[in-house]
Amino acid sequence: MSRKIIFFFCICIGVGSLFLKSSHAEEGTEKTLELESGLYYTIQKGDTLWDISEHFYDSPWIWPDLWEKNQEIANPHWIYPGERVRIYSREELEAMIQPEPEPEPEEAVQPEEPPYYSYPAINKVGFIRKDPIDPSGILFKVKDKKVMISQGDMVYIRPVGKNTFERGKHFAVLRMRSKPLKDKDTKALIGVQYYVLGVVEIGGVEPRFSIGRVLQSFRHIELNDLLIPYEPLSPKITLVESKEGLKGKIIAAEDHQGMFADTVVFIDKGHKDGVKAGQLYSIYYQEKVRIDPKAEEDIVLPPVEYGKIIILRTEDTTATALITKAEKAVRPGATIHTP
């Protein structure tokens, strides 16, 4: 197949363009073509992209890449004499036919851990419930007739009602405080306080009783203490937004001692009031004074905050909290509010 190959080169100069003249003897005329920079081939009768690729690149299989770079050719199977095909250099061709590098995998971004308060003794704290709990069992005997039951001791448990025990299950040991707690001002029943004494694992099940071993003892355990299913709490207490506009009172300290920083206390608000573990509240007082002795009205001064608490766990109408800051002693009935 005869070919007529015409190469046009154009070097851009700031003041103009380079023109290449092409003579056609059979026509006897002379045409001036203004070209873009690069190397071009004018298609002749009978040419195909397959043949052009083989001629310039020694491989006919390059034709799809050649067509892709010459987008003015609508159909690669229909090319016409007089059309121009841009011919790329070997370097351009290699860059053109090389596969695109795979993107580097993005480094996994570890989600930022939310702020939290660490309290390792979380599983030791007790709680107040308005209605007495229904225990799963009662501890009725200890091996070797020990008076003070502690970690490692073997105990015998009597199921309550239709409750059953399974080997390997864990139960929390509780003791109910002798007297229910009442509101200091209204005398209304607040609830029953429970101490968490330890954790027992069931090791054997008999028809009328079960055998367990004390895994942990937080306080001394005695006969007739109660068992309920154990639900461990995380010592990482994630901080969450406090309930807007909440006001409440501190009922008492867990051990009914003086209340200072690091003392576990109970408040008279629970999750029915929007209280959640991880919320922070302020302990405050607010005084009323009479500016003019002759006046009959008192004015209320702005609240004075002197302590902080964080909620550790909640019940329906009460919550267990930890005093994290106290500038002075906190007394039962001390007021709390949203910071």
- pLDDT tens column, 210-237: 999 999 999 999 999 999 999 999 999 9
| Three-class DSSP category at 203 | strand
CATH 2.40.10.410 domain position(s) in the chain? 239-339
Give 211 or 95, the one with higher predicted confidence: 211
Element (H, E) at 50: helix 49-57
How many Cβ atoms sit within 10 Å of the Cβ of residue 139?
Answer: 24
Per-residue pLDDT at 121 exceeds 60 = yes
Q: Which residues contact 54 (CB under 8 A, 6 or more apart)?
A: 60
Are 241 and 281 a contacting pair, CB within 8 Å? no
Dihedral sign from CA coordinates of 77, 78, 81, 87: negative
* Contact assessment for residue 205 and residue 167, using Cβ atoms and an 8 Å cutoff: yes
Determine the pLDDT at residue 9: 34
Provide the token pair at 7: 């190469």
Strand partners, 21: 32
Which backbone phi and psi does 42 adopt, to 5 degrees?
A: -90, 125
- The dihedral through the CA atoms of 64, 67, 71, 73 has a sign that is negative
- pTM to 2 decimal places: 0.67
End-to-end CA distance of the chain, in Å? 92
Specify the CATH number of the domain 239-339: 2.40.10.410
Q: Which CATH number fits domain 19-97: 2.40.10.480, 3.40.1390.10, 3.10.350.10, 3.40.50.800?
A: 3.10.350.10
Regarding beta strands 280-285 and 304-314, do their DSSP bridges make them parallel or antiparallel, or are they unpaired? antiparallel
How buried is 322 (Cβ within 10 angstroms: 0-12 exposed, 13-18 middle, 19+ buried)?
Answer: buried
Spatial neighbors of 188 by CB under 8 A, at least 6 apart, are 182
Contact 205, 222 (CB under 8 A): no
Instruction: Grade residue 32 by pLDDT with cuts at 50, 70 and 90.
Output: very low
Q: Where in the chain is the domain with CATH 3.10.350.10?
A: 19-97
Instruction: Check pLDDT > 90 for residue 74.
Output: no
What confidence score (pLDDT) does residue 45 get? 83
| Phi-psi region at 162: left, alpha or beta (left = phi > 0; alpha = psi -120 to 50) | alpha
Of residues 272 and 27, the one with the higher pLDDT is 272
